Structure 1
Amino acid sequence: MRFNWNFDYVKASKYFYTASIILTIVGIICLAVFKLNYGVDFRAGSNVDVKTSINLSKEQIEKVLVDTQLNQKDVHITPGEGRVNIRFPEVLSPTQEATLKGALKGLDAKASPEVNTVDPEIAKELQRNAIYSVLLASLGIIAYVTIRFEWRFAVASIVALLHDAFMVITVFSIFRLEVNLTFIIAVLTIVGYSINDTVVIFDRVRENMRFAKVKNLSDLKTVVNQSIAQTMTRSINTVFTVFIASVCLLIFGSESIRMFSLAMVIGLLFGAYSSIFIASPLWYALKGLNKDVKPNAPKSTV
């Protein structure tokens, strides 16, 4: 069955622009007030991952921390199926590590604790490198799209790309979800996926522009709407398949990739509409500033 995707996407984009602007403002406020909930990867502390032969409750772990005098402020405990994760905001000393391991083995003789420690300097370096990686990826994409297409396509692409990345960051800030290295990997993956989807539409726009007789903004809008409609089936199929895989990872995956999977799901949802309702209409607006494209002719009153 073949669907008819003909629709005025450019006209409808104003609603999506409004929604994205509102979410961006909310995200900026949340980041300014609450900041991001950094994991051990991006701040000093110790992360204890314990494999167990029995399921341990949060209350049992809390009692162990009280008994061993390790009940630091803001300790985060995440029990799971045959696994417990304990995140300490302060770095544990070798003596404290040994005491904690002994207490955990007292609960479960087959417990296998693994302690990962990040000092403040390494945490700051990881934060800087994460920011640099996103910026370098964005610059490389700008250069690629500019060379392959033109600067208007590059500007529209990078706005959509940054929009997708920031929307994921906004959601994580609002709900205080943990940001770790797997989150950065997810953001970079979303960036690559978003630009790929956008380039497919832009390639069709460029192809249609070669044969279209664009004399005014109405003609230009027709080209953009037709290009999106012609690539819609491909976009829906791609988004759906990747989305299903990400949801399965979120539901059935291990705790270590939970934030990666969640970031992917969120990023895919925002990326699905940014290529259609953000990037393409923005290119239309920039192209409309071209002196060769005239405003729409006034309607006849006769």
Structure 2
Amino acid sequence: MHNLLQIMGKEIVRCESPKETGRRSRLWTYEDVCLALIDNTGKEKIEAIFLDLPGIKDAQWNMKAFSKMSRLRLLKIDNVQLSQGPEDLSHKLQFLEWHSYPSKSLPAGLQVDELVELHMANSSIEQLWCGYKSAVKLKIINLSNSLYLSKTPDLTGIPNLESLILEGCTSLSEVHPSLGSYKNLQYVNLVNCESIRILSSNLEMESLKIFTLNGCSKLEKFPDIVGNMNKLLVLHLDETGITKLSSSIHRLVGLEVLSMNNCKNLESIPSSIPCLKSLKKLDLSGCSEFKYIPENLGEVESLEEFDISGTSIRLLL
């Protein structure tokens, strides 16, 4: 948006209520937000709060005030230090971004029917919500570097989710089984989720394009591919504890990048690997226990990069 349009828009909003910030439709300065949250009355007109501060500020807000913002559709809070989260949030929320969210979960009574994007990096969340919630419009969940997150939500009530980002959630140990059969996910990032030991036993994620599990050091088995996953382009398994890949990997006919760098327990790859006709990059570097490669690997017609530096390869099978 052009700067002049922004200035004009902000002036229009300011004129909605020159003296009472809590009666304006949009708030974007720290001072105005603080004034609006001093008490919990007269907040019904607020539709958007966009607070993106350059440095961290401590705040003593009245969290009950959020319960009065029944028209709130957009909420972004970054670099605000708080001791607790709101008791309730508007059921009309479409976009929620709250870095360093201080509570262990979202408000119990929150309805997420209208929510499209949820970004809560570096939060104190242990569990996003309990049980089943219907969020049919939700497309993005980003809880990256939420160090206390222990389990993922049930995805069956989120049928249109496209992106799940849980990078750096070091306490995450329980991945809900609904992940393995999810139809619309295109991007899954579980980088450095070092407490994960088991994923779903089977994968049938027909829309998945990028799956990243780098640094999941306790993960010893990658699931079997049981359905149509020909859209998967990139599979990163670097520094995982995986000992072998299932022969069902041949179902990933669209795979272009398979990276297993520094998988110290990996000894071999399945002989079905030549079925990956689209494979362009295969990285097995640093797999110190890796000893054997299939002799038919040369049948991978598209292979452009093959790195086996730092392995223990002795002969071809």
Q: Provide the TM-score with structure 1 as the length reference.
A: 0.20
Q: Which one scores higher on RCO, CA 8 angstroms, separation ≥ 6?
A: 1
Greater strand fraction, Structure 1 or Structure 2: 2
Larger radius of gyration: 1
Q: Provide the TM-score with structure 2 as the length reference.
A: 0.19
